[in-house]
Structure 1
Amino acid sequence: MNYLAHAYLSFNHPQVLVGNMISDYVKGKKQFNYSSEIQAGIRLHRDIDRYTDVHPKLKKAKKIFESELGSYSGAFIDIILDYYIANDESIFKSDKELQFFAMSCYEILEKNEQVFPEKFARLFPYMKTQNWLYHYKDDNGIQQSFRGLTNRAQYINKNHQGYNIFLNYKNEMKFIYQEFIKDVRAFAWQKFQENLHS
């Protein structure tokens, strides 16, 4: 899952949020350099990623994109899931509520900049100034995220039709999301509690 999903699945716990957001940039035993609550967030992120990799609904989603995006289909689906979370009125009842959530996340992260791994420290200013967490809400934001991922991907056809596939399968992807989010939220809540108290 992508940044907005991991922020949402931190369940409003500031230190878990920090760990969840930096997890991909913390390798090996370096996780033990952090406070217990940040470590809980790092572990939670990894638990969520392992869960999503094997979830049958997301396997179905990957098949929609695989012919065009190959092994990168999962990364593009992560971005798409953020789109549906941002537009899910059971999570964010209004545009203003999503904006407030995004700003709150940036504020928490900014207060913890001293613990950022180098790569996340370079990335975070762009996340904040371009308001990534909010801009997953609209089609243009998704298109920009797709473009950024395409530019970073080494082995991908730079002229792929991933965005058009997303537009063509929007309704089907929404149904997949609605089935998946209930499962991942319940799983993440359980792991959130386990990781905080382990």
Structure 2
Amino acid sequence: MNYLAHAYLSFHDPALTVGNMIADFVKGKQLLQYEERVQTGIRLHRAIDEFTDTHPSTLMAREYFQPSCGRYSAVFIDIVYDHFLATDTTIFTEKTLASFTENVYSILDERHDTLPPVFQQVFYYMRTQNWLYNYRLMNGIYKSFNGIVRRAKFLDVTADAPLAALEDHYENIAMHYRTFFPELIAFVKTYPH
């Protein structure tokens, strides 16, 4: 899952939110530098990723990106799942998504000095470009795809390739999200935290 899902799956707990958002930037024993609830959020993030990466629906959804994106298909499906979450009317309306994202930005801003330095830079762009809200829009997804393509060392396509895969298989991928996400929520609710 990508940033929006990790924030949502923290269920409004500020320390879990911070941990869930910074986890990819915390390596090895750096985990111990954080308060216990933030550590729990980091561990939760890793458990969410493991559940997501091995879920049959995710594995099937990745197949749509495989021909053009190869091993990067997992990265693209994480972003796509955030799109489906942002547009999931059982969870968010346009207004509640806007409110939710502002709340997440406020939580991260209040703890800015404790965030890993690289994530501080990521957070600057996340907030100023409103990534969490813009996952709702195809243009926001395209910008996220473009960022992945720019940073990927072994991906020889433009952002048009994963966008075309999403557009061509939109309903099928949405079906995979609808199967997968309730199971992920149930998993997180049983995760020890």
Normalising by structure 2, we get a TM-score of 0.97
- Aligned AA for 1:124? F
Calculate percent identity across the aligned residue pairs.
42
Structure 1 unaligned blocks of 5 or more: none
Could you tell me which residue of structure 2 aligns to residue 85 of structure 1?
85
SS at match of 2:65: helix
Q: Does 1:148 align with 2:144?
A: no
Aligned ranges for residues 97-136 of structure 1 at < 5 Å? 97-136=96-135
1:158 positional shift:
2.8
1:115 positional shift:
1.0
Could you tell me which residue of structure 2 aligns to residue 181 of structure 1?
181
Matches of 2:41 and 2:82, distance apart in 1: 19
Matches of 2:104 and 2:132, distance apart in 1: 9
Matches of 2:16 and 2:170, distance apart in 1: 31
Could you tell me which residue of structure 2 aligns to residue 20 of structure 1?
20
Q: Confirm or deny: 8 A CA contact 1:58 1:180 kept in the other structure.
A: yes
- Root-mean-square deviation (CA), in Å? 0.8
Normalising by structure 1, we get a TM-score of 0.95
Q: Deviations over 1:118-158 (max 9, x none)?
A: 11011111101110000000111111111111001010013
Q: Confirm or deny: 8 A CA contact 2:69 2:157 kept in the other structure.
A: no
Q: Confirm or deny: 8 A CA contact 1:151 1:158 kept in the other structure.
A: no
- Aligned AA for 2:163? Y
Matches of 2:133 and 2:162, distance apart in 1: 21
Give the total of aligned pairs: 192
Q: Confirm or deny: 8 A CA contact 2:16 2:41 kept in the other structure.
A: yes
Structure 2 unaligned blocks of 5 or more: none
- Aligned AA for 1:81? Y
